Chains A and B, each alone.
Chain A
Amino acid sequence: MTAILNASGCLDALTAPDVARSLDAYVTKTVTPLPREGNPPPRIAETEHGMLNSIGLQNPGLDAFLNGHLPRLDALGIPIWVSVGGFGADDYALLCGALDECDGVATIELNLSCPNVEEAPETAAQLVAAARAATAKPLYAKLSPATWDIRESARAVADSGADGLSLVNTIRGLALDARTRRPKLARGTGGYSGPALRPIALACVYACAQAVELPIVAMGGVASGEDALDFLAVGATAVALGTILFSDPWAPTRVRAELEAARRDVAR
């Protein structure tokens, strides 16, 4: 059976517990060492074939997450993946070190590629190495599709000790208001997701699956069992749902049923 997860930042398990319980594992919104209020609104804009977001890693910070959120997430009874992000290798080491002691954390996903905040000065490989040194938990590196050859990033994070890949994050995009020709988002650009991202993500999974031996959670416009089958066919081991959750909170249950039906058709 193929595991179905949510993409980080696309579901709040505490406001939508039924949706979270319909997943095989819940991935948290990215946690940073300190609380962040996030970017000013407007934060989202729809485009013809996707959506842009610039949330800016709004989150309660590590302490409030550990003491307030994590115990309530544990109570959901499903595996919890914690997404972590920071602005330097020290941040990743701090976050992973703290989560290493938490029994309720199944996996740590390293958000190495948020397009809406300042980047860490280190390379993805250096950030993974810092995280690796701080925890024995499984580490998944979430990579950006905005790179000439994603196989290089995949090999580098694999060599640094990543246990798996999350492919892909959003890609930077811009939308303008039709009347003013000014950016629709307060921060200008945002991360582009949804159906338009799907062929880009598929190419990334296809490339990485041939370059490294790591398991791959695929995400990027997955909206149906057919989409999931595409990603599985090019080497994904699990799929995550993102933008589709915004229009259909039943999507995990539906996609799982569609996948099983498609498999039965193949077996027949």
Chain B
Amino acid sequence: MTPEHAARTASNGLLLAGRRARRERLRVVGSESVGPYTLLRLDRNALDPGVPGQFFMLEAPGRVLPRPMSLCQAPPGELAFLVDPVGPGTRALCALAPGEAIHVLGPLGNGFDLSVERPLVVAGGIGIAPMPYLADVLQGAPAILGFRTEHQAEAARLLPGAEVVVEPALVTELLPHEPVDVLACGPEPMLEAVRARSPGAQLAWEAPMACGYGACFGCVVERGGRYARLCVDGPVLRDAA
């Protein structure tokens, strides 16, 4: 790369899968418990919050690979991520304290298509993560949230006004019979059930991911009999996954 090209790329960000993304070291400005999850707030610096449903790769301190996280909230000057401490990387992210800093790359992937007439937000468990930002950009949308436990359900406070169910009740029991445009994120069985009830629903999927920008071919999902990279084709998909 010529010095001129390097400088231009540095100021404009990297072209990754047809979109511009930046990688910068972001300072932690807040970390608070939300039920079993942690809401990690970072100084936004020059990173763009992107479209709801897009994701960022967050450096997990002490780990080899970063972790993909969809944006949860975009307060002025900040990016906030809801992290479920399920493994060593996410636990390291939850342990970050204000003043510490991590590298963040993004925004990446394809977010939700917001040009829908009757949006209905549906989320299960940590699948609530992208929904506060989505509801914010949509300037309010009805929402149905499902959780396994009451402790998890404390995260519903991030989406005021949502209908909340706790297992054994399921979100699909609350889906209306009239046509709606479902925007969903949650565990695979929930997404499968939502798709069965609402063909054409926009579903945000999850897969183990090393890079987030199409380099590793690790995050493939089956689409039409082929393996497609979720980071490039998704993570929000309308059809099979």
Contact = CB atoms under 8 A, between A and B. Distances in A.
A246 to B, nearest CB: 4
A12 interface: yes
Interface string A15-52: 11111011000000100000001100111111101110
Nearest to A36: B227
Nearest to B13: A18
A55 B208 CA distance: 13
Contacts, number: 118
Contacts of B138: none
A252 B66 CA distance: 18
Contact of A10 (B63, B207, B215, B227): B215
B62 to A, nearest CB: 9
A150 to B, nearest CB: 25
A247 B64 contact: yes
A52 B206 CA distance: 19
Contact of A22 (B6, B18, B226): B6
A45 B208 contact: yes
Contact of A249 (B64, B213, B221): B213
Interface in A230-268: 243, 245-250, 252-253
Nearest to A250: B23
B217 A58 contact: yes
Contact of A49 (B9, B23, B64, B220): B64
A44 B210 contact: yes
A247 B232 contact: no
Contact of B65 (A38, A41, A246): A246
A15 B220 contact: no
Interface in A85-118: none
A9 interface: yes
B64 A16 contact: no
- SS class, residues of chain B in contact with chain A: loop
Q: Point out which of B15, B105, B210 has the most chain A C-beta atoms below 10 A from its C-beta.
A: B210
Q: Point out which of B18, B105, B211 has the most chain A C-beta atoms below 10 A from its C-beta.
A: B211
Contact of B103 (A22, A45, A49, A248): A248
Contact of B89 (A22, A46, A249): A46
Nearest to A247: B66
Contacts of B232: 15
A50 B64 contact: yes
Q: Name the 9 nearest CB pairs between A and B, nearest first.
A: A15-B214, A44-B218, A246-B211, A246-B210, A22-B1, A18-B14, A15-B17, A55-B217, A43-B218
Given A51-B64, A247-B57, A248-B23, 11 more contacts: A11-B215, A15-B232, A18-B1, A22-B9, A38-B227, A41-B221, A43-B219, A51-B210, A243-B64, A247-B59, A247-B211
29 contacts: A10-B216, A15-B232, A16-B16, A16-B17, A16-B215, A18-B14, A18-B15, A29-B217, A41-B220, A44-B218, A46-B63, A46-B64, A46-B89, A46-B210, A49-B64, A51-B210, A53-B216, A53-B218, A55-B216, A243-B210, A246-B65, A246-B66, A246-B211, A246-B215, A247-B57, A247-B64, A249-B211, A250-B14, A253-B6
